[in-house]
Amino acid sequence: MRRARAAASALAACALSAACARPDTEGLPNLVLLSLDTLRADHLSCYGYPVATSPELDAFAERATRYTRARSTAPWTLPAHASMFTGLLPFEHGAHGEKVDDLRNNARPLSGDAVTIAELLSSVGYRTQAFVTNEVFLAPHYELGQGFDSWFVRPGRSGDLHERAVLPWLRRAEPPFFLFVNYMDTHRPYASNEREGLLPRPVGRDSGALLDKLYTPVLSGAGRRDAPAMQRLVDQYDTAIANLDEELGRLFDELEALGLFEDALVIVTSDHGEYFGEHDLIEHSKDVYEGALAVPLIVKHPGQRHGGIVDEPTSIASVPRLLLEALPEERRAELAARLPREAPGRPVVAENYYSRARELVGQPWGDRFRRVRRVLYEGDWKYVEGTDGTRELYDLAADPAEERDRAADEPERLAELRARLEAVLGAPRARFVTSAVRDWSPEERSALKDLGYF
């Protein structure tokens, strides 16, 4: 956090100097970034899901731009949010997992030398505020809070976070502000309070116990899976989405009532999705298939009143540039120049480094996840490779569930996409060295257990 300390010293000196004026903020709109932790796009009704899980987001999307093929850069929280804040890929920002042989923390923090969107916005006069409910991998020591005036961590559900923190802050906020909110309703244990009329059957509230029950049969690929239990788990997840959606509607209504919605840029996205048995996977963080990488991305620009669609592959690493789109041209160009350069036609890339220690140590499937996996998207095609020598190729238009590996049928395309990925990985771009991994405290281990990581 060297730069953060230097910035704090500069601000202190500025406060003592009558000659130090606040930057001119005229014409700067309010910016809102909402990260719906663990929400896969294909379980939202505005993305075609047959259950009406998201009426509030559907209404929001009708006056916003919906990206139909948005992808995360990683299937879990820390590297995905690091990309969301810096515009960098995991191999560049370094905030990802590492190989371990015991049950200790294997997640690296973000380097203090990486430039975040909050730092850029703060430098031109934005007030920057984060409200975070993921107390584990968005904890302050992972250093994603660089550039935020306040990084407020409060585990719990969206309703409690809104009532106790977000809405009171909005009612007294001074523009221009950049507000980031992270929600955990769709992460284990799902916020599955019953919703009358959503599903034709009761769902219960035991997603943690259900996940534990299904974990070994799914990951080992052995024996018959309990289909009714898996459906009950999906029902609980869908109910959690609907509960979160209701609270998002409440937030949008409050922004409207305060006169803040119309002229703000509002982005709704997710860091990653969730597996429900596909490819012998459950939960997330383990591999790079679509259940964990295909995420929603919906952007309402200032003054926008009609919906739009972007049907090109898009990465959540584009979020910093999307936020800057609302700024006046001169300010936008000034700040965008400090972001990583995006080569024309640069393909969308995702990565996963080894998964969590829980999957790597003391499990019969540990060797399966002891690898680095990388993905390149180009058009309808998805190329996957692993450091264990695996090479996979999928036509997502014809095979969205990735059930047919086309690598053997399309050797030329496979070679072409592999070369493109190697070009991305070998490009002369900044790479940051992160600080040493800090092991968990007893309190953190307890939180990790509650969230299914330990």
Confidence of residue 432 (pLDDT cuts 50, 70, 90): confident
Please check whether residue 272 lies inside any domain of the structure: yes
Burial class (CB within 10 angstroms; exposed 0-12, middle 13-18, buried 19+) of 257: exposed
Lowest mean pLDDT among 21-30, 94-103, 383-392, 400-409: 21-30
Q: What's the pLDDT tens digit per position in 325-356?
A: 999 999 999 999 998 876 556 789 999 999 88
Residue 192, pLDDT score: 94
Residue 80, pLDDT score: 98
Please check whether residue 260 lies inside any domain of the structure: yes
Please check whether residue 21 lies inside any domain of the structure: no
Residue 198, pLDDT score: 95
Please check whether residue 14 lies inside any domain of the structure: no
Residue 427, pLDDT score: 78
Please check whether residue 2 lies inside any domain of the structure: no
Domain that holds residue 359: 26-450
Please check whether residue 5 lies inside any domain of the structure: no
Alpha carbons within 13 angstroms on the beta-carbon side of residue 320 total 27
Q: What's the pLDDT tens digit per position in 19-51?
A: 345 678 888 999 999 999 999 999 999 999 999
Q: How many domains does the chain have?
A: 1
Separation of first and last alpha carbons in the chain: 28
* Crossing angle between the packed helical segments 227-257 and 207-220, to the nearest 10 degrees: 130
Q: Tell me the C-alpha distance between 1 and 113, whole Å.
A: 8
pLDDT score of 223 more than 90: no
Residue 205, pLDDT score: 83
pLDDT score of 259 more than 90: yes
Residue 343, pLDDT score: 59
Please check whether residue 19 lies inside any domain of the structure: no
Q: Tell me the C-alpha distance between 349 and 84, whole Å.
A: 13
pTM of the predicted model as reported, rounded to 2 decimal places: 0.92
Residue 341 vs residue 365, higher pLDDT: 365
CATH at 47 = 3.40.720.10
Please check whether residue 432 lies inside any domain of the structure: yes
Residue 15, pLDDT score: 40
